[in-house]
Amino acid sequence: KNEVEQSPQNLTAQEGEFITINCSYSVGISALHWLQQHPGGGIVSLFMLSSGKKKHGRLIATINIQEKHSSLHITASHPRDSAVYICAVGTLNYGGSQGNLIFGKGTKLSVKP
Amino acid sequence: DTEVTQTPKHLVMGMTNKKSLKCEQHMGHRAMYWYKQKAKKPPELMFVYSYEKLSINESVPSRFSPECPNSSLLNLHLHALQPEDSALYLCASSRTGVSYEKLFFGSGTQLSVL
């Protein structure tokens, strides 16, 4: 079993729909990261959170430490949101180093106009 | 300036060539990383530099040689690569390197080894 599981693996939505991507993890973490990767490679860090909820524009990320679960929500989705969304958790190995991020396999989102 | 700049964006090399990938940031970050990403897979950590010292080497073959000349620059020297080394190579940085800091990624170098 992977230490970081994302669902769904693929998601197709119509423009304007509310989207939820889920991430579950089985290790103790110091922080959870949501990353966005567009075709062509570059990765953008959307959120880094260790408790509660964060909001940036149409994006909302939540985390429940007790349940070891996080969700990324996109409201009023748009075709430009089409990308791969990756959940990654930082553990306390390597003395808390960023070097021990464990990545999920990603969720490929396609938003149709 | 919140950018991590990687050059070149694309690189094609033969198995006998020597080439270098470059990464630069001017955010004052003291931790820099190299990741390798194969198609449709998550990134895999290769190296971590913390305060210009190599702190993590994830058992990467010696044909990959990292270098951190100063706190703003990170190089990855390539020599005698194999076709299976073809991948997207991503550089990233963070403020000090602890796991609860935001990561900043470059746009990557797409490497093809013939």
pLDDT digits (tens, 9 = 90+) for A7-32: 999 999 999 999 999 999 998 888 99
pLDDT at position A42, please? Answer: 86
What average pLDDT score do residues B19-44 get?
94
Cβ neighbour number for residue A101 with a 10 Å cutoff = 24
Specify the amino acid at residue B82: Q
Q: Exposed (0-12), middle (13-18) or buried (19+): which is B82, by Cβ within 10 Å?
A: exposed
Cβ neighbour number for residue A10 with a 10 Å cutoff = 10
User: What's the longest Cα–Cα distance across chain B?
Assistant: 40
Query: A41 pLDDT exceeds 70?
Result: yes
What average pLDDT score do residues B83-96 get?
95
In a mutagenesis test of the B interface, which of A98, A100, A103 is the best target, namely the one with the most B β-carbons within 10 Å? Answer: A98
The answer to whether B105 contacts A103, with C-beta atoms less than 8 Å apart, is no
Report how far residue B107's alpha carbon sits from residue B45's, in angstroms, rounded to the nearest whole number. 16
Distance from CA of B97 to the nearest CA of A (A): 5
By the CB < 8 Å criterion, does A33 face chain B? yes
Q: Answer yes or no: are the C-beta atoms of B107 and B3 closer than 8 Å.
A: no
By the CB < 8 Å criterion, does A31 face chain B? yes
Report how far residue B92's alpha carbon sits from residue B18's, in angstroms, rounded to the nearest whole number. 23
Report how far residue B35's alpha carbon sits from residue B91's, in angstroms, rounded to the nearest whole number. 6
Report how far residue B88's alpha carbon sits from residue A82's, in angstroms, rounded to the nearest whole number. 20
Residue A86 tokens, joined: 């990756």
The answer to whether B48 contacts A40, with C-beta atoms less than 8 Å apart, is no
**Binding-face residues of A in 42-81 toward B, CB within 8 A:** 42-45, 48, 50
pLDDT at position B30, please? Answer: 94
What residue has token string 């194999």? B82
In a mutagenesis test of the A interface, which of B2, B74, B99 is the best target, namely the one with the most A β-carbons within 10 Å? Answer: B99
What average pLDDT score do residues A33-55 get?
92
Residue B73 tokens, joined: 């620059």
**Binding-face residues of A in 11-30 toward B, CB within 8 A:** 29-30
The answer to whether A90 contacts B100, with C-beta atoms less than 8 Å apart, is yes
pLDDT at position A94, please? Answer: 53
